[in-house]
A and B are shown apart, each in its own frame.
Chain A
Amino acid sequence: MEIRRDVFQAIADPTRRQIIGMLAKQPLHLNAIAEHFDVSRQAVSLHVKILMECGLIMITKQGRERYCEAKLEKLGEVAGWIDQYKQFWTIQFQSLDKYLTKVQATKKTKK
């Protein structure tokens, strides 16, 4: 079964955002994460699973515990497209600059 998992879906949920925020500071055991939330350990575990499927965190087993670590390069995808749009508009505006300079120069010579 193909489930669409992407970074936007990962961060669409407030609990998942909080989990990312916690793991961004330090790697944590699943139990330690679960303790922070009022929802059941199962619910937290599901969020963790989704984050893993989206490639935002890594889970390693240590004995009976699962150890969660942030793998946040994926969020770079988000920064990446924002960057692209910014660059695009910067170039557009530079082009508009040139155009306006040209138009105004033409006007002046006509006078």
Chain B
Amino acid sequence: MTTATNTTFRLTHVFHAPKEKVFKAFSTAEALNAWWGPAETSNSVIKLDFRPGGIFHFKMESDGNVSYGRFLFVKIEPYDLLEFTNAFADEQANVVKAPFDIEIPKEIFYQLRFEEAAGKTTIILTGRPVNASDAETAAFISIKDGMEQGFGGTFNKLANYLAQ
């Protein structure tokens, strides 16, 4: 039995700034107002309580449609590590189902690691669904073995995600 990593996806990004700066961009309402939120919506911070157990509640507006999102901070280790869950929310910051047609996990757990080298900071982001059982996450990994043998578009695509 292969050991399942609990990671469903992983993304890295290099910023041309020291990690203290990059980290702090997550820690104040002013900074978050300046950069956070889906590009196609106008976003505003409703509440930011930057401590473990605290929440970041924000509003997203687009063509008269309003939706809300929230982070629940789990772990904060300046300037190295940030862990939180992210979900769509209502006006009171209660978690709600994502407003999409497809079934997607309601809440995602994210871990961001900040690594600095030569004045540049790399964020290593990993995400996985909250409450998805180990079996579910393991599933992606074991299915991949079957997929590698001559499967078309979608499957290769999924395999690529899993391989990362």
Interface size on B, residues (CB 8 A): 44
| In contact, A20 and B143 (Cβ under 8 angstroms) | yes
> Smallest CB-CB separation from B39: which chain A residue?
A91
Contact of A86 among B9, B16, B37 (CB under 8 A): B9
**A31 contacts the other chain (Cβ, under 8 Å)?**
no
**A73 contacts the other chain (Cβ, under 8 Å)?**
yes
**B5 contacts the other chain (Cβ, under 8 Å)?**
no
Interface of chain A, main secondary structure: helix
Q: A85-B108, A91-B39, A100-B16 are in contact. Are A22 and B103 (CB under 8 A)?
A: no
- The minimal Cβ–Cβ distance linking B50 to chain A, given in whole angstroms, is 16
Interface size on A, residues (CB 8 A): 45
| In contact, B154 and A76 (Cβ under 8 angstroms) | yes
A→B interface (CB under 8 Å) = 6-8, 11-14, 17-18, 20-25, 72-73, 75-86, 88-93, 95-104
- A-B contact sample (7 more), CB < 8 A, given A23-B146, A96-B15: A11-B136, A72-B151, A72-B154, A85-B9, A96-B22, A100-B15, A100-B17
Bound Cα distance A23, B135 (Å): 20
**B147 contacts the other chain (Cβ, under 8 Å)?**
yes
> Smallest CB-CB separation from A9: which chain B residue?
B136
